[in-house]
Amino acid sequence: MPTILAIESSCDDTGAAVCINGKIVANLTAGQKIHEKYGGVVPELASRAHEQHIIPLVETAIKEAGISTKDLDAIAVTKGPGLMGSLLVGVCFAKSLSQALDIPIMGIHHMQAHILAHFIDDPKPEFPFLCLTVSGGHTQLVKVHNTFSFEIIGETIDDAAGEAYDKIAKIIGLPYPGGPLVDKHAREGNPHAFEFPFPLREGLNFSFSGLKTAVLYFLQKKIKENPDFIKENLNDLCASVQYRINSILMEKLENAAKSLYINQIGIAGGVSANSGLRAMLQEYGVKNNWQTFIPKFEYCTDNAAMIAISGHYNYLDGKFDDLYMTPTARIPL
Ligand code: KG4
Ligand code: ZN
């Protein structure tokens, strides 16, 4: 019945969570507003903010869980992929605490953890399970054989889906991170107002850079005709961009499910917080007779609860690391 403290610091959000016997009893995230004015995450500033947030966040998570540090059985921490300086803050803190409390440490793969977020609440997917993992840095179609075995069957050849959302949002003039704002405006817009192109239809890999360029050229032309074009069409623009990104994602997911004969289908990662994608998955699920899985909103974007549940499975399997464990910016799934 392990009690696990989890720490996530791979990018610009610091997370701390506590999981008791597979149940999340505390899950806190401290965001970093500082990057907004730079139009993207500034790694050095992210590391400094993690350093400021990590101790109060862990203290609060332990308090909220109603436990003390001596109740902890192990510490789970994101070891990568992510920004090196940010990862180092979480890993060094976790190592120090594990040594001070004399409890084991478990290094967790961030993208595997996004997938394992499906195992926080019931109902849980059965294996094999097909997961579309869409975040700021990754877009992957993953066949999940069990909680430790992941097989990539398709991925992006250029931009990740979240990156596409953020870059196109920037072209439209929305601040970073643009994904949630596109989602917000899209709710009031017509997804078929503008038809953006559908790139690369063969195989299970994705490509989003052509769409980004198409939106850029489309807007340059429209703004020449009417300088207020974006302002006057913001909701329709966001709805049409969102519809195209999500339909690219769903077409590949559907093809993958059909070719693998899998009907346990989920989405994970920051972009799975997108209301249009969540709704589209349900529609495709009904059409294809899938059992669909979408993590709770707070378990989609970066969070420590997903690191905690991954730690829970590692603990039960006796998968521990030692103090020689180091973070890695890029790790295969
Ligand atoms: O998984 P995540 O929190 O961090 C990474 O591991 O990268 O994903 C962040 C990405 C960003 O690109 C952000 O714009 C996107 O997820 N995102 C969204 C939404 N919420 C977050 N994209 C579209 N709609 C949303 N509601
Ligand atoms: Zn993530």
pLDDT of res. 34: 86
For ligand 2, the distance from its centroid to the CA atom of residue 177, given in whole angstroms, is: 13
pLDDT score recorded for residue 39: 85
Q: Is the CB of 15 under 6 A from ligand 1?
A: no
Taking alpha carbons only, the member of 86, 107, 73 closest to residue 1 is 73
Of 271, 272, 299, 331, best ligand 1 pocket probe by most atoms within 8 Å of the beta carbon: 271
Task: Please tell me the distance from the alpha carbon of residue 211 to that of residue 158, in angstroms, as a whole number.
Answer: 11
Distance 229 CA to ligand 2 centre (A): 34
Among 277, 167, 256, which Cα is nearest to 211's? 167
Q: Which residue type is seen at 191?
A: P
The predicted structure's pLDDT at residue 199: 84
Interatomic CA distance for residues 15 and 306, integer angstroms: 10
Residue found by looking up tokens 């903010």 in the block: 49
- Nearest residue by C-alpha to atom 22 in ligand 1: 179
Question: Would you give the DSSP letter of residue 319?
Answer: -
What is the distance in A from the centroid of ligand 1 to the CA of 41?
13
Find out whether 254 and 288 touch, Cβ atoms under 8 Å: yes
pLDDT digits 0-9 by tens, 116-175: 999 999 999 999 999 999 999 999 999 999 999 999 999 999 999 999 999 999 999 999
Render each residue's pLDDT in the chain as its tens digit; 333 residues.
Answer: 899 999 999 999 999 999 999 999 999 999 988 888 888 899 999 999 999 999 999 999 999 999 999 999 999 999 999 999 999 999 999 999 999 999 999 999 999 999 999 999 999 999 999 999 999 999 999 999 999 999 999 999 999 999 999 999 999 999 999 999 999 999 999 999 999 999 877 899 999 999 999 999 999 999 999 999 999 999 999 999 999 999 999 999 999 999 999 999 999 999 999 999 999 999 999 999 999 999 999 999 999 999 999 999 999 999 999 999 999 999 999
Ligand 1: does its nearest atom lie under 6 Å from the Cβ of 270? yes
Q: Rounded distance, CA 251 to CA 290, Å?
A: 14
For ligand 1, atom 20: residue with the closest CA: 180
Q: Identify whether the C-beta of residue 79 lies closer than 8 Å to the C-beta of residue 107.
A: yes
Nearest one of 278, 173, 175, 179 to 227, comparing CA atoms: 173
**pLDDT digit string, tens, across residues 23-34:** 999 999 999 888
Residues 6 or more apart whose Cβ sits within 8 Å of residue 1: 20, 21
Strands 3-8 and 74-80 come out as parallel
Identify the residue whose C-alpha is closest to ligand 1 atom 14.
179
Task: Report the alpha-carbon distance of residue 286 to residue 278 in Å, rounded.
Answer: 13
Instruction: Look at residue 254 in the predicted model and tell me its pLDDT.
Output: 98
Backbone angles phi, psi at 79, to 5 degrees: -100, -5
Residues in the chain: 333
Please say whether the beta carbons of 248 and 198 come within 8 A: yes
